Amino acid sequence: MMSHYAELLTPAQIIAVHDASLEILDQVGVLVRNEEARRRFGRHGCRVDPQTQIVTFPRAVVEEFRRLVPPTFTFHARDEALTKTIPGNGLVIATASSAPNLIDPDNGEDRRSTSQDIARIGHLVSQLPGIDVFSISVLADDAPDGQFSLSRFYPAVKNCSKPVRTSVMDIREARQILKLGALVAGSEASFLARPFITFGYCSIVSPLTMDFDSTEMLMFCADHKLPAYGTIAPIGGLSAPLSMIGMLAQINAEWLATAVLAQVSRAGTPLIYNFLPVVGDMRTGAYAAGAVETGIVAMAIVQMARFYGVPSGSYLGLTNAKSGDAQAGFEKAMSPALAATAGIDFIVIGGLLDALMSFDFGQLVIDDEIARMLKRVRQDLALGSLERSVAEIRKAGPGGMFVDHAETLAAMKTAAFLPQIADRERREVWKERGSVRTHERALSRAKELLCHPNTAALPAEIDARVRNGFENLVSGDCEVPSGWTAHLPDEQRPRRLGRRGSR
Amino acid sequence: MMSHYAELLTPAQIIAVHDASLEILDQVGVLVRNEEARRRFGRHGCRVDPQTQIVTFPRAVVEEFRRLVPPTFTFHARDEALTKTIPGNGLVIATASSAPNLIDPDNGEDRRSTSQDIARIGHLVSQLPGIDVFSISVLADDAPDGQFSLSRFYPAVKNCSKPVRTSVMDIREARQILKLGALVAGSEASFLARPFITFGYCSIVSPLTMDFDSTEMLMFCADHKLPAYGTIAPIGGLSAPLSMIGMLAQINAEWLATAVLAQVSRAGTPLIYNFLPVVGDMRTGAYAAGAVETGIVAMAIVQMARFYGVPSGSYLGLTNAKSGDAQAGFEKAMSPALAATAGIDFIVIGGLLDALMSFDFGQLVIDDEIARMLKRVRQDLALGSLERSVAEIRKAGPGGMFVDHAETLAAMKTAAFLPQIADRERREVWKERGSVRTHERALSRAKELLCHPNTAALPAEIDARVRNGFENLVSGDCEVPSGWTAHLPDEQRPRRLGRRGSR
């Protein structure tokens, strides 16, 4: 635990941003394309212009409803032990979602992703301790007609018992996913008692626009008590001011508008103050997801969320790199480290390259290690033991050694994070082992993990129930080429894999 | 500017660490191998045991002398415009020093480094805006007898007009460097008026030991008003407690002992609270320079330095990676980002791989980019413009655009850091250009920069004076293979290089 989080904004500046947002909502307003949403706003004191579809918000209305947002958000898991609440369960970290492409783990080329990839990613996420929430990483290009999102959720839920989260296209799809949840849980009531699927939506198309479908999703989830939260993804210089403070004021107004709609729909609907703030690269208009500015804006966003007493989250550790190289490394580490020191509750980080366009298995394994380093930052320094430390230093004395102390032996495995991908051998050893680069080591590790039996898989009888409930469902099974078993350590190779595989 | 730095320790914990350090110094003490240092300690109220050579420090003595450490430290530069003071000139960033090896830029193999390499690195550092201080990156394997450190300082000073810093072996070498400085400046008095060379020493061999030579260096520099500061580099679990709080207490005691010796030598001697805190990897005893714990301990060190009102610094962004790959990327970005949010004044980061064993040209160019990202974190958010931002959002309106706003056009080049190494093109463009990985792009950039004429080089008449002053001096010239001009953009290739080269 840190004793004081990093702050960019002074208390007076937080108030000033809040005030600017209220002014924006009161005087500029939000274009609301969904008629039912306009009706709800209108019923609760907002001014609706039916011609322009612009809703403006009296300050008192915003202040009344934003106070109803609960202080915590829970990501329920199919395996209840893996449920995470923010704040409360430390820094919670998710994969980043919805890339259209994937770097093929066998040939390194990018291609469209499929439901089979999602099954594999789910199996991998189950085994990565740094990743708490599986936000479904890719799209399913093989989805049968009418099952676009179901073909993503089914393999995810089938292979991963951690909280699953992603977006759907519309209400029809949301109902499909609700049915999927009910089939897995046994009934809709049991599912709603512990809804292990969290819905995401783009609550705002910046600047200041609520489109039809995602606004309908927001209301549907609020009405049905389905856990959901929006992500707002403005681009500074394009869909928001280029100045970070201007972007922050707009972001804040957009979040407040979302919060009002959720609370007028059902008071007490949990939300996350969640963003993907990117400053555009004005040389080319490139989407600079890997820029340090994303981390800086996130630090300020965390302060606004704390001011409102709501959980904070952001997409961070994104990268513009096309492969898991040095750029991917530094872009992925810097922005989440900044936000971690600012006290962020929730980070969406893992697995994507190329400005959210491509998923990469090796990168996800690297990101798991980065996630675990980030969690270490927020752990306790074990400050209580200062007295014992002085005694230990006294025992060693000037020029002495600590390696054989009881204190050292007792804490050897817990005092520091022990990485699995970062290499700490001498150069000679690294060379003897083939001078393998980090991404290549991580990809081998991913393949090794994917050869393990899936202990988090949906039990066969429940799976049969699900498959009976839908026609034409994708297989959802995690299959790996037989050649991948070469990545297993010797003693686990053919025999053990065969045995486990037959369970 | 951040409004509040991140803090790991509460105010009470800072006092507790301070108190524990005083207890360690009072009751355990420091083994002081240098007799003159023991005399100086003894003359100022410390207790000296001549048998064991252990000096113990009454609390009042420590409190009296540590208060004499000035609040700032200045790195003078040969080009006065490049002088940096901490705190005061923002986050100041240096190369990391004294690697024995270098990754050959032509064949990628590691080899012993030479004075020629130092000349090249100096020329490169001159052109990297993120790097403020050239702490001499490598050793000079080709040094003539008796000129070990001179063969490092001379090519550094000859090719780089930024502040130069590194260590020497003993007083004889320090006198050589002082002579070098005097020859460049015209006289010893002119050099001492603006000493563009800063000395480093290992003030403590952990735990709690002052060895002979480096302690003599500390006293020599203090006596002669030569800018100098120590680095203390304990390894948690080996030469310090494994627990971070215990390591911190020992580090703090060690710094206080150093501060007392510097101040009893000459009251008002500037120092930096500077460390290289590494927690050992207890699986193998590996020196885990790239671990996140280095960044975490640094955050606490910054708080102790601020408590004492002295500048803070740390080696950070080190890596155990053997090549400039993903591991180098994330290890180099995370720990300095943490310390930057904690308000550190000085970061030693650039150019080394393999736990400080090898320098790499491409990595230095990548680290320059990381350094510039870190500086961005500590810049102003331009918060004054909130009113103008609201006006801008009003002008755009819901669904509007910002790209053609005067505010956007005016800030296009300054609103965000514009990287030169990080690639933000679309994947297709990246592929068309050969799918070049980041380290390879950075190495090409290094070679391109090294083909530029050196506008920071020592003027020929001054150089002649220096060469007259020493026999057998290494050449110190930055030479590059003719093949490297291929890395220059077309229009700069043969003709322009030839022209510039003839100046």
* Number of other residues whose CB lies within 10 A of the CB of residue B75: 28
* Number of other residues whose CB lies within 10 A of the CB of residue B387: 13
Residue-wise over A315-330: b if at least 16 C-beta within 10 A, else e?
bbbbbbbbbbbbbbbb
C-alpha distances (whole Å) from B479 to each of B100, B447, B485 are 20, 11, 12
Taking a C-beta distance cutoff of 8 angstroms, is the pair B315, B95 a contact? no
| Rounded-to-integer distance, Cα B195 and Cα B189, Å | 9
Structure ipTM: 0.95
Interface contact flag, B423 A338, Cβ < 8 Å: no
DSSP code per residue over A425-474: S-HHHHHHTT---HHHHHHHHHHHHHHS--TTSPPHHHHHHHHHHSSS--
Over residues B165-184, mean pLDDT: 96
DSSP code per residue over A317-337: S----SSSSHHHHHHHHHHHH
- DSSP run (H or E) holding A347: strand A346-350
Domain map (residue ranges) of chain A: 1-379+419-503
Q: Dihedrals φ, ψ of A73, to 5°?
A: -135, 135
Q: How confident is the model at residue B499 (pLDDT cuts 50, 70, 90)?
A: very low
Vertex A120, ends A115 and A125: CA angle to 5°? 120
Edge to edge, the sheet with strand A228-230 lists A134-135, A164-167, A197-201, A228-230
Taking a C-beta distance cutoff of 8 angstroms, is the pair A119, A477 a contact? yes
Q: Over its length of 503 residues, how does chain A's per-residue pLDDT go in tens digits?
A: 799 999 999 999 999 999 999 999 999 999 999 999 999 999 999 999 999 999 999 999 999 999 999 999 999 999 999 999 999 999 999 999 999 999 999 999 999 999 999 999 999 999 999 999 999 999 999 999 999 999 999 999 999 999 999 999 999 999 999 999 999 999 999 999 999 999 999 889 999 999 999 999 999 999 999 999 999 999 999 999 999 999 999 999 999 999 999 999 999 999 999 999 998 898 988 999 999 999 999 999 999 999 999 999 999 999 999 999 999 999 999 999 999 999 999 999 989 999 999 999 999 999 999 999 999 999 876 666 889 999 999 999 999 999 999 989 988 888 899 999 999 999 999 999 999 999 999 999 999 999 999 999 999 999 999 999 999 999 999 999 988 987 777 766 654 443 333 33
pTM of the predicted model as reported, rounded to 2 decimal places: 0.96
Q: Which two tokens stand for residue B392?
A: 């801008």
Measured between CA atoms, the residue of chain B closest to residue A32 is B398
Looking only at the bridges linking them, the beta strands covering B110-112 and B101-103 are: antiparallel
| Rounded-to-integer distance, Cα B328 and Cα B488, Å | 26
| Rounded-to-integer distance, Cα B500 and Cα B484, Å | 15
**pLDDT tens column, B201-254:** 988 999 999 999 999 999 999 999 999 999 999 999 999 999 999 999 999 999
Contacts of B291 in chain A (CB under 8 A): 416-417, 419
CB neighbour list of residue B97: distance below 8 Å, 6 or more residues apart: B135, B136, B137, B165, B166, B167, B200, B348
* Cis before A227? omega within 30: no
> Number of A:B CB contacts under 8 A?
439
User: How many whole angstroms from its chain centre is CA B299?
Assistant: 17
Residue B434 sits at the chain A interface (C-beta within 8 Å): no
Contacts of B17 in chain A (CB under 8 A): 386
Residue A133 sits at the chain B interface (C-beta within 8 Å): no
A143 three-class SS: coil
Q: Is B258 left (phi over 0), alpha (psi -120 to 50) or beta?
A: alpha
Q: Is the pLDDT of residue B496 over 60?
A: no
| Rounded-to-integer distance, Cα A478 and Cα A116, Å | 6
Interface contact flag, B245 A418, Cβ < 8 Å: no
Q: Which two tokens stand for residue B264?
A: 């009893």
Helices and strands: H and E segment counts in chain A: 18, 20
C-alpha distances (whole Å) from B257 to each of B50, B72, B262, B295 are 18, 19, 9, 23
User: How many whole angstroms from its chain centre is CA A457?
Assistant: 21
Residue A414 sits at the chain B interface (C-beta within 8 Å): no
Contacts of B411 in chain A (CB under 8 A): 242-243
C-alpha distances (whole Å) from B22 to each of A396, B61, B66, B128, B262 are 17, 10, 11, 42, 17
pLDDT score, position A503? 31
B255 three-class SS: helix
Find the CB nearest B324 among A326, A337, A402: A326
pLDDT score, position B383? 61
| Rounded-to-integer distance, Cα B96 and Cα B311, Å | 18
Q: With the C-alpha atoms ordered B331, B335, B341, B345, is the resulting torsion angle positive or negative? A: negative
Contacts of A208 in chain B (CB under 8 A): 393, 397-399
Residue that wins the pLDDT comparison between B380 and A15: A15
Taking a C-beta distance cutoff of 8 angstroms, is the pair A258, A219 a contact? no
Over residues B484-499, mean pLDDT: 63
| Rounded-to-integer distance, Cα B276 and Cα B206, Å | 11
Measured between CA atoms, the residue of chain B closest to residue A236 is B402
Q: How confident is the model at residue B279 (pLDDT cuts 50, 70, 90)?
A: confident
Continuous H helices in B452-493: 460-469
pLDDT score, position A489? 76
Interface contact flag, B398 A245, Cβ < 8 Å: no
Contacts of B238 in chain A (CB under 8 A): 401-403
Vertex A290, ends A285 and A293: CA angle to 5°? 80
- A-facing residues of B in 200-219 (CB < 8 A) are 205, 207-209
| Rounded-to-integer distance, Cα B42 and Cα B366, Å | 48
Interface contact flag, B418 A2, Cβ < 8 Å: no
**pLDDT tens column, B10-26:** 999 999 999 999 999 99
Residue A56 sits at the chain B interface (C-beta within 8 Å): no
DSSP code per residue over B89-158: SSSEEEE---BSEEE-TTT--EEE--HHHHHHHHHHHHT-TT--BEE--B--TTPPTT-TTHHHHHHHHH
Would you mind telling me the total number of residues written for chain B in this entry?
A: 503
Contacts of B399 in chain A (CB under 8 A): 31, 205, 207-209
pLDDT score, position A502? 34
Residue A338 sits at the chain B interface (C-beta within 8 Å): yes
pLDDT score, position B350? 84
pLDDT score, position A382? 62
- DSSP run (H or E) holding A154: helix A150-159
DSSP code per residue over B63-89: HHHHTTS-S-EEE--SSGGG-EEETTS
C-alpha distances (whole Å) from B72 to each of B75, B302, B306 are 10, 14, 11
Task: Tell me the HSE value of B62 on the side-chain side, using a 13 A CA sphere.
Answer: 26
**pLDDT tens column, B285-310:** 899 999 999 999 999 999 999 999 99
Mean pLDDT of chain B: 94
| Rounded-to-integer distance, Cα A352 and Cα A117, Å | 13
CATH superfamily entry for domain A1-379+419-503 = Trimethylamine methyltransferase-like (3.20.20.480)
Percent of chain B past pLDDT 90, that is, above it, reads: 89
